[in-house]
Amino acid sequence: MSMYFTKEHEWVKVEEGIGVVGISEHAAHELGDITFVELPKIGKNVKQFEVLGSIESVKAASDIFASLSGKVVKVNDALEAAPEIVNESAEDAGWMAWIEIADDAELKNLMTREQYDDYLKTL
């Protein structure tokens, strides 16, 4: 399974044409205690880097952007009742949505873990 990152601190894990999307541990840490996650609607078609949903914390509210274009096929309903899962497990249990990937070529617009770690050092 390959994992990629955006400059807006979203990640996507790609497996068999599905991209599982969430926010990075860095983003979760920066946001602080997460109080609300607005998930996209199942069936919604999204374009790469367009708004997918939003996330609110005690410090700020932020948009979550789609890492890849495609159709939302599943959302993490657990986050509605327990948004703190994102703080506890941002890059695993805190995933937001599954996207049926429209175009694998868009992966070239994303960073690998190594590139993302290097990018974080520049912030």
Exposure on the CB side of residue 103, measured as CA atoms within 13 A = 11
Tens of pLDDT along the chain (123 residues)? 799 999 999 999 999 999 999 999 999 999 999 999 999 999 999 999 999 999 999 999 999 999 999 999 999 999 999 999 999 999 999 999 999 999 999 999 999 999 999 999 999
Exposed (0-12), middle (13-18) or buried (19+): which is 54, by Cβ within 10 Å?
middle
Rg (CA), the chain: 13
The tally of domains found in the chain comes to 1
Query: Measuring CA to CA, which residue among 72, 69, 74 is closest to residue 104?
Result: 69
pTM of the model: 0.95
8 A C-beta contact, residue 76 and residue 84? no
- Give pLDDT, residue 20: 98
Residue span of the structural domain in which 89 resides: 2-121
